[in-house]
């Protein structure tokens, strides 16, 4: 059975100075035209460079060039990022695209980032998402992207890529298990570049689709019901998706291989489930590698893959289990990112390691007080079976360390304590190397995914001291829960530069908002791809 994938919003690009080209790219009747608006001290202002005629003309006037500031003030529209003001079009004078002209959506892009009129990639991403959500009817949506708001830092290609990502991710819907899919919304999205190079338009569109597809893969995996996405099925889906991907190969370890490789943490968590565990190793070899000091840099990604977490014998509450199919978000992210590396021309070696299992309270389940032996021989006393993610990651990080890479990055929905500290939108960022921490932080900012550095104080190491083993899997009650979990992981990376992203909050959204749809968010995929694309010589 093929793994069901959500259909991506169709995207095209066109030269906005040529109305016929825009109409051809739209392919269907244009429903909405988005006009970027800047927030200025004097009120909202249409971005310079918006052409007088975008798609069609209405009564001889250029569509979308006039912004009624009085009406904007009445509606509270200031041009802030993601704000929209919809103006319904009148009957088209030309009528070439239907009896009714498209609605004009003035889309806020926020304040310019410098003395020019440029805005950042995050603002463009959110503006495109706002247009998709404001469209509300079938047909094509067109966003005019004038060169005036494209800054040197983002660049034309990067600006187009950000717009495409925002549009596709905002349009995402998981409907695989719906009999009656109402659909609705725009069918096609056109980036209408005004003054932008056609090469940048084409390449930015291609890259934006590649990134968005990777994020949507992660979302699809996370949103799939846990009984139909068991560890075995997750591995099969990974094999299906990576088949034929440029430079990507995959290896799947079954339970016997996991036993032979002495992955005691993974086996201990899996013990209570009727579903056998799996471990995935996805490798990417670049066709055009970059070299540093005579060798190709190698980055290893490790993702927590608990396909369902009941808490084990330390059972969660019924409410606490409702979203626990989300507990494999880290594994989904590293799979999705690695599989997209070839399409984006990543020039470093990448290996993704995803230990996957269920955490269930079966008759053979690990008991509080048991001691598990990790692959590297270190022992962990399990005092809470609901703190299982760090146990499977200990094995995954050990395997990563043995590859002697230049960097290790793990992603995990690890602790509720991180949600308490940083909320639902920001991931906790821990690490052993300031240089790598800075790289990951910068990549997350460019990708528009929130991260915030948290400390790993040596004096807190005593929180995980055990009387009978090398360490215990929980710290002191009510104190520094995210830090104690990260300190345990740090025990398994040796001297390799390492970053841990605790994505327990942003891995799931409780509402449709901006580029996010309710459910799995695919958080981390864009950050990883941004990092890997720019990884190389400092």
Query: Mean pLDDT over residues 53-80, rounded?
Result: 71
pLDDT band at 55, cuts 50/70/90?
Answer: low
Residue 102: the pLDDT is 79
Mean pLDDT of 10-22: 90
What residues contact 237, with CB distance under 8 A and at least 6 apart? 3, 221, 229
Question: How large is the average pLDDT for residues 239-262?
Answer: 97
Q: Active-site residues: which are they?
A: 316, 390
How sure is the predictor about 78, in pLDDT bands with cuts at 50, 70 and 90?
A: very high
Per DSSP, helices labelled H in 312-433 are 318-321, 329-340, 389-402, 416-422
d(CA 206, CA 31): 23
Q: Are 240 and 2 in contact (CB under 8 A)?
A: yes
20 phi and psi angles, rounded to 5 deg: -65, -40
Res. 98: pLDDT tops 80:
no
- What is residue 100's DSSP assignment? B
| Percentage of the chain lying above the pLDDT 90 cut | 83
Query: What mean pLDDT do residues 131-136 have?
Result: 89
Res 376 pLDDT > 60: yes
- What pLDDT score was predicted for residue 92? 40
pLDDT at 2 over 80: no
The pLDDT, as a whole number, for residue 120 is 94
> pLDDT tens for residues 503-512?
999 999 999 9
Between 31 and 511, residue with greater pLDDT: 511
Distance CA 36, CA 349 (A): 39
CB 275 within 8 Å of CB 236: no
Could you tell me the pTM of the whole model? Answer: 0.95
CA-nearest of 361, 309, 345, 312 to 330 is: 309
Q: With a cut of 90, say whether residue 136 has pLDDT above it.
A: no
The answer to whether 110 and 11 have CB atoms below 8 angstroms apart is: no
Average pLDDT over every residue of 408-426: 98
Rounded Cα gap, residues 149 and 326, in angstroms: 37
Please tell me the predicted confidence (pLDDT) of residue 94.
41
What pLDDT score was predicted for residue 538?
61
Q: What is the DSSP string of 275-327?
A: SPPEEEEEEE--SS---BTTB--EEEEEE-EEEEE--TTSPPPHHHHTTGGGG
Q: What's the pLDDT score for residue 514?
A: 95
pLDDT of residue 182: 66
The answer to whether 506 and 329 are in contact (CB under 8 A) is: no
Task: Return the CA Rg of the chain.
Answer: 24
Q: What is the pLDDT of residues 452-462, one digit of tens each?
A: 999 999 999 99
Domains of the chain: 10-219 (3.40.220.10), 224-533 (3.40.630.10)
Residue 53: which pLDDT band, with cuts at 50, 70 and 90?
low
Structure-block tokens of residue 188:
């096609």
Q: How confident is the model at residue 96 (pLDDT cuts 50, 70, 90)?
A: very low
């Amino acid at each position: 059975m093929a793994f069901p994938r959500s259909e991506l919003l169709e995207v095209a690009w066109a030269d906005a100075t040529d109305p016929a080209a825009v109409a051809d790219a739209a392919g269907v009747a244009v429903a909405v035209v988005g006009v970027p608006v800047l927030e200025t001290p004097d009120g909202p202002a249409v971005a310079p460079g918006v052409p007088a005629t975008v798609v069609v003309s209405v009564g001889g006037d250029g569509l979308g060039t006039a912004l009624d500031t009085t009406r904007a003030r009445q509606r509270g529209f200031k041009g802030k990022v993601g704000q929209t003001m919809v103006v319904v079009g009148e009957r088209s004078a030309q009528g070439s695209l239907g009896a009714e002209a498209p609605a004009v959506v003035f889309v806020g892009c926020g304040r310019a980032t410098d003395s020019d009129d440029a805005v950042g990639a995050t603002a463009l991403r959110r503006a495109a998402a706002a247009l998709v959500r404001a469209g509300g009817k079938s047909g094509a949506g067109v966003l005019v992207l004038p060169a005036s708001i494209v800054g040197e830092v983002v660049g034309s290609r990067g600006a187009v890529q950000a717009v495409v990502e925002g549009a596709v991710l905002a349009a995402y819907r998981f409907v695989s298990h719906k009999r009656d899919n109402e659909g609705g919304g725009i069918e096609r999205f056109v980036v209408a570049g005004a003054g932008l190079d056609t090469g940048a338009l084409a390449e930015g569109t291609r890259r934006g689709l590649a990134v968005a597809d990777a994020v949507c893969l992660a979302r699809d995996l996370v949103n799939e019901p846990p009984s139909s996405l068991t560890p075995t099925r997750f591995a099969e889906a990974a094999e299906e998706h990576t088949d034929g991907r440029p430079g990507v190969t995959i290896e799947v370890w079954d339970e016997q291989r996991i036993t032979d490789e002495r992955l005691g943490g993974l086996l201990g968590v899996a013990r209570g489930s009727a579903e056998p565990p799996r471990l995935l190793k996805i490798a990417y070899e670049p066709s055009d590698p970059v070299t540093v000091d005579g060798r190709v840099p190698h980055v290893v990604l490790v993702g927590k893959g608990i396909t369902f977490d009941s808490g084990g014998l330390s059972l969660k509450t019924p409410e606490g289990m409702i979203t626990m199919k989300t507990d494999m978000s880290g594994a989904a992210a590293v799979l999705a990112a690695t599989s997209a590396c070839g399409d984006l021309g990543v020039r470093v070696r990448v290996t993704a390691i995803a230990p996957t299992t269920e955490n269930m309270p079966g008759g053979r389940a690990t008991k509080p007080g048991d001691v598990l032996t990790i692959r590297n021989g270190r022992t962990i006393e399990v005092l809470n079976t609901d703190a299982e993610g760090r146990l499977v990651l200990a094995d995954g990080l050990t395997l990563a360390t043995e590859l002697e890479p230049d960097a290790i990055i793990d992603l995990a929905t690890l602790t509720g304590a991180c949600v308490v500290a940083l909320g639902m939108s920001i991931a906790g960022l821990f690490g052993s190397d300031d240089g790598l921490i800075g790289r990951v932080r910068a990549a997350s900012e460019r990708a528009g995914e929130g991260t915030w550095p948290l400390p790993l104080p040596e004096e807190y190491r005593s929180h995980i001291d055990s009387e009978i083993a090398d360490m215990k899997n929980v710290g002191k009650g009510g104190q520094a829960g995210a830090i104690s979990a990260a300190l345990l992981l740090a025990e398994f990376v040796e001297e390799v530069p390492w970053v841990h992203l605790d994505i327990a909050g942003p891995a799931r959204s409780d509402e449709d908002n901006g580029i996010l749809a309710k459910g799995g968010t695919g958080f981390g995929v864009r950050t990883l791809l941004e990092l890997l694309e720019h990884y190389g010589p400092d």
